[in-house]
Structure 1
Amino acid sequence: MQSAKTVAFHTLGCKLNYSETSSLSRLMEQEGFEKKEFTEVADVYVINTCSVTDNADKECRQLVRRIQRKAPESFVVITGCYAQLKPKEIATIPGVDLVLGAAEKFNITKHIKALSKNDATKICSCDIDTVTGFHSSYSLNDRTRTFLKVQDGCDYTCSFCTIPMARGKSRSAVIADVVQDAETLAASGAKEIVLTGINLGDFGKGPDGDAPAAINGRTENFYKLIRELDKVAGIDRYRISSIEPNLLTNEIIEFVANSSKFMPHFHIPLQSGSNEVLGAMRRRYKRELYAERVRLIKTLMPHCCIGVDVIVGFPGESEDHFKETYDFLHELEVSYFHVFTYSERANTHALSLTPVVPVALRNERNKTLRNLSYMKMQYFEKLHAGQTRKVLFEGFNKNNMMEGYTDNYIRVTTPYRAEWENQIIDWKL
């Protein structure tokens, strides 16, 4: 398909996927492809998928159908976690031409050039155990905030999760390379970098999953990484996208509290406020540790915003377990939740656990926690009413409005002003 010259991308899922999609886009632009919006007609459509929930799988199938109606002669490429986990299932979707697994997605241009329309769907997947190596990725020119991937894969075995099967073993960039990426982003005009990874706090294992000591004879870890990034000139803000409570050390919290560049904002997965459910989930901490981390953060940074991931409807979650979670979150000084309704995933230990929570009850619990999250965020915002905080405004015009975030992640919306794009403004809340 030598004549194809336009490509459009769509990303499902996490910040890490956004950073990788941006890198894939740059690879294709270097090969002469012109980038189009996903709503436009393009020669090639690339969907970078997630597979954390059933909904992400369904959304992928819906997107392919939409492309078939709009541009039936275009090539459709599926990559990402869904592609790694279920390549044969994706190959049965009418209109899909190429499925790229974890080891092959960064060879996308080579595979696209070899495509011919109406051939059988080509699957380039692999055994996840053979996936090694770390591919640096960052988003650029897509958003004011830049997502910088510094870690990939996961060595944890949470009973509900397919990510290790989709992403492979934990592995990282080396600090020197991350610093170089940050300097590149600073030179491009980026003001804020969001550090992303699958298990970010596990940063330090080598590009091939080696022990930390194997990296040029130096032991590297996440704390040492953020200390070095803090020195990079030209970047005003860093955020830590998500970090496990057992890997969020006191020294990391204390460093953020004393840094002018690392924002007072943490996102810390909880998943359940019940120790019994946490045990069934095979999480590596108890609620007491989580509460301890929150207390230290709020002691050192009372203005800090704390986000929480929580799963409802996990097998065996009784009304008492759910009440434990609700009460725990209600009492904690956290600011908002990302609430996930448990969905069965193939080849996970959780499938063998009972009793199964009815789907209607899962949805009801989701709504209950989302309502609590809304009230938490409202309360957090009211605590800061009247304060002047620094807001980085996004670089796009949406219905003559623009928005940005304070250092502690309060969203601000105001009439669009071009001179405020990608600028940090003192703003009275």
Structure 2
Amino acid sequence: MIDQTVFENKTAAYYTLGCKLNFAETSAIGKQLLHAGVLRARKGQKADICVINTCSVTELADKKGRQAIRRMIQSHPGAFVVVTGCYAQLKPDEVASIDGVDLVLGSEQKLDVIRYLDDLKKKDKGEVVTSKTHRIRTFVPSCSADDRTRYFLKVQDGCDYFCSFCTIPYARGRSRNGSIADLVKQAQDVVVQGGKEIVLTGVNIGDFGHTTGETFFDLIKALDEVEGIERFRISSIEPNLLTDEIIDFVAGSKRFAPHFHTPLQAGSDAVLKLMKRKYDTALFRRKVERIKSAMPHAFIGVDVIVGLRGETDAYFEEGRDFIESIDFSQLHVFTYSERSGTQALEIGHVVDPRTKHNRSKELHDISDRKLRSFYESQKDGFRKVLFEHTRHGNRMHGFTENYVRLYADYNPLLVNKITGVKIGEYNEDEMAMEAVFGE
């Protein structure tokens, strides 16, 4: 039994790395501590508790995690330090060995953090509380507001796809989800809080339904009926799970934005096989063409990885040519990082760092051209923009329903309001198109 008086007059500081799902979960941890009486530390205030939610998608992510942990310990001397997230699940002993860490919580434990806090006294060595990955079965709902205006609603967790390069199934466990009824209730709670836009997040959201016997298509149909939310966005969804009925529904829906983000990972079928992906380039092309046929103005973001073991020059060139040939809006380019325990380590032909860097630059250049071209295609069109509260000098920014970034002179009356505008010229300094009012 936890002594609740332990938390009286205590403050907590939070640091999150990685995906939007992590941010949603950190928010849930913060709400749990707040309910126990722990206030969020103000900027510059020394906190009594530090919570670091880590990522482990690459070796660089692990390094950033260690740096963040040490920074928090230095910034909040004497604080009780809790580390959780994917890095904590995959390498708990390594995290616990960092001087100043008191508690390491795995994926199954992190959203029940209060249960593992006792007297908040510093420990000589970090205590590790984790579960074996195959035993991670709990789905804990979470929803967070970011520092702009969007809310991120966790609808699914875990993954049953064991791609050769990926550690996520080992860090987050098997696919599981909340019920549609509970997720609709959370969306309705966002309405009460004044939220206008919700992004659906998860590890493999198209796989929604394993634990409730429902489908992702059922979910988006139900959410589309939530009065008060202006927009829903679907975060990353696997191309083989992005069905034609989902695409067609979004095209005619009341609230779902014409904005898709789907991982390609490689434009070479040979590399896709090495990755153990569940589709080929022909399927991916069909999905992009289906989206553009139904919604010519849709924004399509694409993930791609460069430098996987086995990616020869010929395979890369094949992949680059495929990427050039499809009608997407922006690439998110990731450099392959060796992860212990993954099947990719069994593949021969290691790509050297310089080659990885050069390939990454080539794809970034393609992305820059494609994004600019997409933005220019939207010029003089009329769209609805949701302006964010963050101020950039005398400017404010927001996104249209099809994810075009716009800028305008700062006006507090426009914050968190859906406003109709005409899209003007591209501004290189703002990296956005101008929002033109009154036309």
TM range (shorter): over 0.9
- Cross-structure match for 2:190: 185
For 2:65, give the aligned amino acid: C
The correspondence for 2:347, drawn from 313, 330, 353, is 353
Q: Is the 8 A contact 1:157 1:164 kept in 2?
A: yes
| Structure 2 residue 395 is matched with structure 1 residue 390 | no
Aligned partners of 1:131 and 1:369: how far apart in 2? 37
The equivalent residue for 2:96 is 91
State how far apart, in whole Å, the 2-side matches of 1:167 and 1:292 are: 31
Q: Does 1:252 align with 2:246?
A: yes
Range with bigger deviation, 286-295 or 66-75: 66-75
Partner of 2:413: 419
Q: Give me the whole-angstrom Cα distance separating, in 2, the residues matched to 1:38 and 1:79.
A: 22
Q: Is the 8 A contact 2:97 2:125 kept in 1?
A: no
Is 1:231–2:222 an aligned residue pair?
no
Aligned pairs for 1:66-81 (under 5 A) are 66-81=71-86
Structure 1 range deviating more: 340-349 or 48-57: 48-57
Secondary structure of 1:394's aligned partner:
strand
- CA positional deviation for 1:401: 2.6
Instruction: Flag the 1:2–1:144 CA change in 2: closer, same or farther, 3 A.
Output: closer
In structure 2, how many angstroms separate the alpha carbons of the residues matched to 1:100 and 1:143? 29
Counterpart for residue 409 of structure 1 = 403
Q: Which residue type is aligned with residue 259 of structure 1?
A: S
1:211-290 equivalences under 5 Å are 215=212, 219-290=213-284
Residue in 2 that maps onto 1:14 = 19
Does the 8 Å contact 1:271/1:311 carry over to 2? yes
SS at match of 2:88: helix
How far apart are the structure 2 equivalents of 1:257 and 1:118?
55
Judged with a 3 Å threshold, the aligned counterparts in structure 2 of structure 1 residues 253 and 132 are, in CA distance, closer, same or farther, namely same
Report Cα offsets for 1:297-318 as digits up to 9, x if no partner: 0001000000000000000101
The match for 1:167 among 167, 172, 177 is: 172
| 1:203 aligns with one of 208, 212, 216 | 208
Aligned to 1:151: 156
Instruction: Indicate the residue corresponding to 1:32 in structure 2.
Output: 37
Query: SS of 2:345's equivalent?
Result: helix
One-letter amino acid matched to 1:112: L
Question: After superposition, what is the alpha-carbon deviation per residue over 1:370-425, rounded to whole angstroms, capped at 9, x for unaligned?
Answer: 11111110000000111121100112324343211011001112222111110111
Find the counterpart in structure 1 of residue 432 from structure 2.
none
- 1:141, 1:289 → 2: CA distance? 34
Equivalent position of 1:210 in the other structure: none
CA contact (8 A) 2:158 2:168 kept: yes
Task: Find the partner of 1:117 among 105, 122, 143.
Answer: 122
What SS does structure 2 have at the residue aligned with 1:113? coil
What is the rounded CA distance, in whole Å, between the counterparts of 1:2 and 1:425 in structure 2? Answer: 43
One-letter amino acid of the structure 2 residue matched with residue 408 of structure 1: N
Q: Secondary structure at 2:82's aligned position in 1?
A: strand
Q: Deviations over 1:259-312 (max 9, x none)?
A: 131000000100000000000100000000000000000001000000000000
Alpha-carbon distance in structure 2 between the residues aligned to 1:4 and 1:356: 54
Q: Is the 8 A contact 2:7 2:38 kept in 1?
A: no
Give me the whole-angstrom Cα distance separating, in 2, the residues matched to 1:37 and 1:285.
47
- Amino acid across the alignment from 1:147: F
Shift of 1:38: 6.6
Q: Secondary structure at the match of 2:374?
A: helix
CA distance in 1, matches of 2:290, 2:298: 11
Amino acid in structure 2 at the alignment position of 1:76: V
Displacement of 1:40 after TM fit?
4.2
8 Å contact kept, 1:10–1:38: no
Using the TM superposition, give the Cα deviation of residue 183 of structure 1 relative to its aligned residue in structure 2, in angstroms.
Answer: 0.8
Q: After TM superposition, what 4+ stretches of structure 1 lie above 3 angstroms from structure 2?
A: 1-4, 37-40, 140-143
Q: Which runs of 5+ in 1 are unaligned?
A: 207-214
Secondary structure of 1:139 counterpart: strand
Structure-1 residue corresponding to 2:107: 102
Other-structure match for 1:209: none
When the two chains are superposed, the root-mean-square deviation of aligned CA atoms in Å is 1.4
Distance 1:321 1:312 in 2: 11
Q: Number of aligned pairs? A: 418
